[in-house]
């Protein structure tokens, strides 16, 4: 049986990496970056002079209540987890507004993502390379959050989606099946993107000759909450999905939208293009586990062009976080950096 928990070319971290940074240092760094990102996200709430902007809070509550009261169309109305958590916490502590609850949730989620990302990256990169990878993610996250003016439950949902992706893939790498299944069940209550993890599990276990059982269980962990939600909730337009974004994503489908489509594709190109190009360089030499994850990239791109709105950069974050270590290792090769205990691979 082939063990993919340690891909070829990967040395034991304890033997090949510098001493781990103290946890309190990491927590301080990650908390600082998380607060900076969430404070910047809230900035539009306060217009010039510090005056509060009620319109942004109104838009925040409009989406939140649209999910709670099932007045939104599909697929938005089926993405229940974060709106219900925000609503429940607001009901439990009514003197804290829903916007402030969202601020706390965003901060905690970003800290958690950084922590799990650092641990995941450290199985491929040096400690310093892993930190740089996390900080690159933070930079891209800050850009992604700028698309919606002010805080939004939609953003928090997509941040949680990234956390689910990282936990699920890290659990697969560590062969922790229960953690994988649990993350998939919870993720399916948040949004549909969690389906992309299923083919990763399938490809991984086929190559590792572990059979199909884990893929079957993973499939049902995603499908069960997905089906239950669609049976219990009915969107106002009766749709599960829509293709509204397709003319905004693909050039020449609508002549009136051509410039807007070109701008959208330019955003995609500068957001994920360099990472994809760097990851593709000498791809065969990359660790097998990362190649398995990267194999879903074409599917991820096609699905988001068909069903998503590609200018919304936060939709690409699950893909970005798994391209970062691939790009990092190739960048170290291109720059001629030596691998070893004291090297920095980013």
Query: Could you tell me the mean pLDDT of each successive run of 10 residues in the chain, 346 residues long?
Result: 47 42 87 95 77 84 94 90 96 94 97 96 90 95 92 95 96 95 97 95 94 96 95 78 79 83 93 93 90 94 91 94 92 68 36
The 3-class secondary structure across the chain, one letter per residue, is CCCCCCCCCCCCHHHHCCCCCCHHHHHHHHHHHHHHHHHHHHHHHECCCCCECHHHHHHHHHHHHHHHCCCCCCCHHHCCHHHHHHHHHHHHCCCCCHHHHHHHHHHHHHHHHHHHHHHHHCCCCCHHHHHHHHHHHHHHHHHHHCCCCCCCHHHHHHHHHHHHHHHHHHHHHCCCHHHHHHHHHHHHCCCHHHHHHHHHHHHHHHHCCCCCHHHHHHHHHHHHHHHHHHHHCCCCCCCCCCCCCHHHHCCCCCHHHHHHHHHHHHHHHHHHHHHHHHHHCCHHHCCHHHHHHHCCHHHHHHHHHHHCCCCCHHHHHHHHHHHHHHHHHHHHHHCCCCCCCCCCCC
| Residue-level pLDDT at 282 | 85
Q: Is residue 164 part of a domain?
A: yes
| Residue-level pLDDT at 333 | 80
Q: Is residue 6 part of a domain?
A: no
Distance CA 80, CA 25 (A): 35
Q: Is residue 170 part of a domain?
A: yes
Segments forming the whole domain that contains residue 87: 19-334
pTM for this model (two decimals): 0.88
| Residue-level pLDDT at 208 | 92
Q: Is residue 130 part of a domain?
A: yes
| Residue-level pLDDT at 50 | 64
Q: Is residue 339 part of a domain?
A: no
Q: Is residue 9 part of a domain?
A: no
User: Considering its fold, how many domains does the chain have in total?
Assistant: 1
| Residue-level pLDDT at 248 | 86
| Residue-level pLDDT at 18 | 41
């Amino acid at each position: 049986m082939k063990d993919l928990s340690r891909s070829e070319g990967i040395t034991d971290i304890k033997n090949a990496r510098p001493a781990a940074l103290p946890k309190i240092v990491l927590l301080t760094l990650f908390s600082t970056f998380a607060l900076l990102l969430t404070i910047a996200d809230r900035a539009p709430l306060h217009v010039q002079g510090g005056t509060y902007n009620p319109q942004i809070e109104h838009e925040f509550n409009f989406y939140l209540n649209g999910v709670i009261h099932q007045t939104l169309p599909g697929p938005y109305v089926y993405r229940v987890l974060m709106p219900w958590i925000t609503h429940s916490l607001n009901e439990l502590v009514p003197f804290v507004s829903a916007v402030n609850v969202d601020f706390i949730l965003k901060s905690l989620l970003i800290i958690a993502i950084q922590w799990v990302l650092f641990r995941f990256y450290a199985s491929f990169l040096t400690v310093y390379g892993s930190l740089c990878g996390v900080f690159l993610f933070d930079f891209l996250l800050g850009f992604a959050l700028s698309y919606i003016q002010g805080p939004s439950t939609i953003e928090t949902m997509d941040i949680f989606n990234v956390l689910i992706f990282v936990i699920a893939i890290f659990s697969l790498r560590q062969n922790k099946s229960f953690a994988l299944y649990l993350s998939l069940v919870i993720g399916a209550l948040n949004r549909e993107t969690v389906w992309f993890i299923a083919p990763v599990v399938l490809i991984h276990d086929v190559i590792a000759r572990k059979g199909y059982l884990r893929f079957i269980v993973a499939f049902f962990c995603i499908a069960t909450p997905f089906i239950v939600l669609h049976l219990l909730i009915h969107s106002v337009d009766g749709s599960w999905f829509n293709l509204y974004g397709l003319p905004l994503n693909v050039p020449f489908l609508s002549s009136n939208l051509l410039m807007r489509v070109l701008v959208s594709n330019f955003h995609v190109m500068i957001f994920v293009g360099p990472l994809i190009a760097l990851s593709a360089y000498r791809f065969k030499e990359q660790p097998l586990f990362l190649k398995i994850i990267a194999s879903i990239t074409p599917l991820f791109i096609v699905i988001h062009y068909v069903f998503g709105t590609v200018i919304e950069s936060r939709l690409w974050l699950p893909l970005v976080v798994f391209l970062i270590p691939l790009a990092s290792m190739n960048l170290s090769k291109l720059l001629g950096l030596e691998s070893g205990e004291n090297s920095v691979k980013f």
